[in-house]
A and B are shown apart, each in its own frame.
Chain A
Amino acid sequence: AQTVTQSQPEMSVQEAETVTLSCTYDTSENNYYLFWYKQPPSRQMILVIRQEAYKQQNATENRFSVNFQKAAKSFSLKISDSQLGDTAMYFCAFTGSGTSYGKLTFGQGTILTVHP
């Protein structure tokens, strides 16, 4: 079974600084997708960024970028120029084409607090 591990329960950062959230996953599949979702206090989950495993280039969305290390099964999220609105719980997630077909498996989440 696929597992997703986020080892940092909580992180904090000053406004305008950079922070990196860690995620590791375990899978025997070769074709899969990785995601970071954000859950602000309003609790609605929002997609932050998506990475296809067969693409070696790291995904980037404005201030958000990932460091995808396929061999190490690592998928970290870097938030640059942190803003107060980035305060939220961040979830790393995985889906594949084998036994995980149709399932999006989430990590336990990291609570990020951005301080003014």
Chain B
Amino acid sequence: DSGVTQTPKHLITATGQRVTLRCSPRSGDLSVYWYQQSLDQGLQFLIQYYNGEERAKGNILERFSAQQFPDLHSELNLSSLELGDSALYFCASSVSERPTGELFFGEGSRLTVL
């Protein structure tokens, strides 16, 4: 158990809908990272927050947004969903501001868009 909790584990929704994925980092970790894993794109970095502030941005679509709350949990919001958004979404956390040390990953949220 990595200590990172992601909910929900599985989510099935329809095109055009909006979903929110939630992540609770390991106790004491200030950084939260979001990744998308799909068969065609592999593991893609989406966004990173450190102590409530956005620190780095990757290939995150404008339809997607995220935030980190004062209690350090994070939410990834996906809107106007398309079939191609079906993927496994991982959250990871680390104590440092940069991912130079170990990242601790959650079990992922499997999103299926029908």
A residues at B contact (CB < 8 Å): 33, 42-47, 50, 91, 95, 97, 101-109
A43/B55 in contact, CB under 8 A: no
Of A45, A95, A97, chain B has the most CB atoms within 10 Å of the CB of A45
With a cutoff of 8 Å between Cβ atoms, the chain B residues found around residue A102 in the complex are 48, 55-56, 97-99
**For the complex, is B108 an interface residue (Cβ under 8 Å from A)?**
yes
Q: List 21 A-B contacts (CB under 8 A).
A: A42-B107, A43-B88, A43-B108, A44-B108, A45-B103, A46-B105, A50-B101, A95-B99, A95-B100, A101-B98, A102-B48, A102-B55, A102-B56, A102-B97, A102-B98, A102-B99, A103-B48, A104-B99, A105-B45, A107-B42, A108-B42
CB-contact partner of B102 in A47, A97, A101, A103, under 8 A: A47
A104/B42 in contact, CB under 8 A: no
